[in-house]
Amino acid sequence: MILADTTIWIDFFRSGACRSEMGMLVYNHQLVMHPYVIAELALGSLQNRRETLANLDCLPKILPVSLADVRLMIEARGMYAKGIGLTDAHLVASCLATPGTQLWTLDGRLGKVAESVGLRADLPHA
């Protein structure tokens, strides 16, 4: 499974980049969504807002983990002072809690963290 972070979705919505990769992931039932990514996207300007958010809500979900577990992961895996934010840490924690799930991102810092724990998806633009 692949979890595309907000940077991938923004790039997809703005330029259509990764359209074929996204299409194949959806077609093969390999793309999962995190509720925090949907919430971040909802904060932005979306074309066909209601339809877009409804479509995102229909994608298979990866579940958030508790804040306490995210804090434990940060300490146990030395993820502090890496330049990632709380949502990023939540995405990493959710991928770790869902074996076989990788993270696809354009964010360099998040990509390095994901790579350090064996979660970075090997997809174009990642």
The tens digit of pLDDT for each residue in 101-114 reads 999 999 999 999 99
Q: In angstroms, rounded to a whole number, what is the distance separating the alpha carbons of residues 117 and 15?
A: 30
Q: Note the pLDDT of residue 15.
A: 85
* % the chain with pLDDT above 70: 98
Residue ranges and CATH numbers for the domains of the chain are 2-116 (3.40.50.1010)
Q: Note the pLDDT of residue 20.
A: 84
Q: Do residues 23 and 13 touch, judged by C-beta distance below 8 A?
A: no
Q: Note the pLDDT of residue 123.
A: 81
pLDDT tens digits, residue range 23-50?
A: 899 899 999 999 999 999 999 999 999 9
Name the strands in the sheet holding 2-4, side by side, starting at the edge strand that comes first in the sequence: 31-32, 2-4, 102-104
Over 60: is that where the pLDDT of 126 sits?
no
Find the mean pLDDT for residues 70-93: 97
Task: Please state the φ and ψ torsions of residue 125, each to the nearest 5 degrees.
Answer: 65, 10
Query: What mean pLDDT, rounded, does the chain reach?
Result: 94
Structural element, H or E, at residue 114:
helix 108-116
